[in-house]
Structure 1
Amino acid sequence: MHIRKLITGLGLAGLLLLGGCSNNKKSDSGQSVKHVGVLQVVQHPSLDKAYEGFKKGLKEEGYVEGKNLKIDYQNAQNSQDNLKSMSEKLVNEKSDLILGIATPAAQSVANATQDIPTVVTAVTDLKAAKLVNSDAKPGRNVTGTTDMVSIDKQTKLLLSIVPKAKTIGVMYNAGEANSKIQVDLAIKALKKAGVKVLVKTANTTNDVQQVTETLAGKVQGIYVPTDNTFASASSIIGKVVKEKKIPLVAGSTDQVKTGGLASIGIDYEKLGEQTGKMAAKILAGKAKPASIPVEKANELKLVVNHKMAKALGIDPKTIKAPK
């Protein structure tokens, strides 16, 4: 009799303990709460804006953090070990949806789960990154937005600024697949235009300054794609190119504000907002990632750093978007 009561009591205690460990799916007001995990590869303006835009997009569709939405934000600070452990954490928490910001984070999440709905943003090529079967028909648990822009227009912009250039420099982290795709396109476009191309790589932000200084002494202009390593060190790059009087066109408009001269690029906050609205459809049960086509930025814009232009002796009004 006493043993039976003891067993029953232990069973109830165990159930209560398990209940305490599970995700709370109801708010204080009784609303259903969606749990969204976020993994960002590293902190820099473009990716930070993509995250803020993502939350804005969700809010516009009725998902408000603190009311019916709980977000677990993780930043890997460019560490592969962190990416793996943080991805596993978000999966083990049984998130209703996971957001991967930038290619390394997106791939890490995709490797961690083939079941939890996943959206990604700031990824150059989702198919090349093996995240989807195709942009039109993802076919898996992943969809999202690409930040691929016209590399042809960006290289033409640079050459219009330095029309007499004989050699153009290109800098990137060879370990970032998204950067390699852009650099290959840039090299092809520049060579087609009849200029020589000098390529330098850096694996960490610690190497960026030396690479920039070396390259700046041998070229008449520099192109940097939307590379996370170089974007994280954009202020360092800016000091070097200003001192060396070398025009730099960046893949990201945000990098222009701190280290470049100009760019034709996207607004990462708006791109994140698009992604948030895609996520809202999934959370509402209106669609699944497999059937939501990959989206690209709705608009591109020319951004010119006027202070940098004047420091380089260039009239900012002469910098125009190529047709």
Structure 2
Amino acid sequence: MTQIVEHPALDAARDGIKKALEEAGYKDGDNLVFQSESAQGNPATAAQIAQKYVGENPTVIVPIATPSAQAVVAATQDIPVVFTAVTDPLGAQLIKNLEHPGGNVTGISDLSPLADHLNLIKEIVPTVKKIGVPFNPGEANGAALLAALQEMAPEWKVEIVEAPASKSADVQAAAQSLVGKVDVIYVPTDNTIVSALEAVIQVGIDNKIPVFSGDTDSVVRGAIASVGFDYFEIGRQTGAVIVRVLKGEKPGDIAVKNATGTDLFVNTKSASAMGVTVPAAVLSRAKKVIN
């Protein structure tokens, strides 16, 4: 297993995979050798991990998040690959067909429910006109989500304001560049931005700009609200696919599925710190309220 960076959502996916394997009878140290490495946000390191794993010829390689998946798919056309937490597997050129991936690759997509996110933002901040979106232009999933938001913006009568950050050290400056230009900040499931989320949250608090997120783990860390997946469950869904491969199915014959199950998380403490009040109707729907 190789993941582009360590943050709560991706770590939860990794843990969910391990749990699903254990439940299927594959136990680390018993009948399974389980290796896991993080590229610490560096695509070049992700490529090195992929090459190393290919040299060890494992039964399956499991990349978590788009940059790691791209590195692994580029490194092998023979070893089975089951990716997870990939926003747009077609756009990232991991596969050519969702129903019939072909070759040695399949997996689970975590494409964000963007319409739900825009509805939630407008419900909590009805006056919103401009939404700032920090993203890494070099991360295919972040770029795909930004493009989708820009396409949807006219229907929701909002303007999307970009704030590029190519590495985690640039995230605070990217968030700061939005001050005075936007009504809210939306953090997509872009691993570079999420890995430095606290910097965005602080900018939101200091300047009374509400910060929303594309994943619920980020709400626990300080974003105001999100409708998102339980990444531990995404891991379990991915683990079920890995088990099918371990039992002999070809990855290319297994359809790529979107993750299922979404929850509403709300952080009222952060909302107060950022100058907004979460409506009772939103709170009543929340699976989890952090206060």
Superposition TM-score tier, normalisation by shorter sequence: over 0.9
For 2:288, the equivalent position in structure 1 comes to none
2:105 aligned partner, one-letter code:
V
Structure with higher Rg: it is 1
**Which one of 196, 204, 215 corresponds to residue 159 of structure 2?**
196
- Aligned with residue 86 of structure 2, among 98, 101, 123: 123
Picking from 140, 143, 155, the partner of 1:180 is: 143
Per the alignment, residue 238 of structure 2 pairs with: 275
Q: State TM-score, norm by structure 2.
A: 0.93
> Offset of 1:243 from its aligned partner?
1.7
Write the distance in 1 (CA, Å) between the matches of 2:26 and 2:69.
Answer: 22
Q: Distance in 1 between matches of 2:113 and 2:281?
A: 17
Q: 1:197 and 1:298, CA in 2 relative to 1: closer, same or farther beyond 3 A?
A: closer
Q: Does the CA-based 8 Å contact 2:110-2:259 persist in structure 1?
A: yes
Q: Output the amino acid matched with 1:311.
A: A
Rate the CA distance shift 1:318–1:218 in 2: closer, same or farther, 3 A. Answer: farther
* Residue number in structure 2 paired with 1:18: none
User: In structure 1, what is the equivalent of residue 35 of structure 2?
Assistant: 72
8 Å CA contact 1:44, 1:232 repeated in 2:
yes
Q: Distance in 2 between matches of 1:62 and 1:295?
A: 23
Name the aligned partner's letter for residue 157 of structure 2.
Answer: G
Q: Are 2:183 and 1:220 equivalent residues in the alignment?
A: yes
* Alignment check: 8 A CA contact 2:125 2:276 kept: no
The alpha carbon displacement at 1:319 in A equals 6.0
Gaps of 5+ in 1: 1-37
Tell me which amino acid in the other structure corresponds to 1:185.
Answer: A
1:165 to 128, 131, 140: 128
One-letter amino acid matched to 2:243: A
Once the two structures are superposed, residues 249-303 of structure 1 have per-residue CA deviations (whole angstroms, 9 ceiling, x without a partner) of: 2111111221311111101110011111110111122x11011111222211111
Query: Which residue pairs with 1:102 in the alignment?
Result: 65
Matched-pair identity in %? 41
One-letter identity of the residue aligned with 1:67: D
Q: Does the 8 A contact of 2:118 with 2:156 survive in 1? A: no
One-letter amino acid matched to 1:151: L
Q: Tell me which residue corresponds to 2:104.
A: 141
Residue identity in the other structure for 1:314: V
Aligned residues: 284
- 1:298 corresponds in structure 2 to 260
Structure 2 residue matching 1:70: 3-state secondary structure = coil
**Aligned counterparts, 1:47-66, within 5 A:** 47-66=10-29
Q: Deviations over 1:43-78 (max 9, x none)?
A: 111111111111011111110111111012111112
TM-score (norm 1): 0.84
Q: Which moved more, 1:114-123 or 1:190-199?
A: 190-199
Q: Give the corresponding residue for 1:318.
A: 280
C-alpha distance after superposition, 1:21-60 (max 9, x if no partner): xxxxxxxxxxxxxxxxx11111111111111111011111
Q: Is the 8 A contact 2:227 2:265 kept in 1?
A: yes
Q: Distance in 2 between matches of 1:242 and 1:93?
A: 47
Q: Report the alpha carbon displacement of residue 313 of structure 1 after superposing the two structures with TM.
A: 3.9
Moved over 3 A (4+): 313-319
Residues 185-264 of structure 1: pairs in structure 2 closer than 5 A: 185-264=148-227
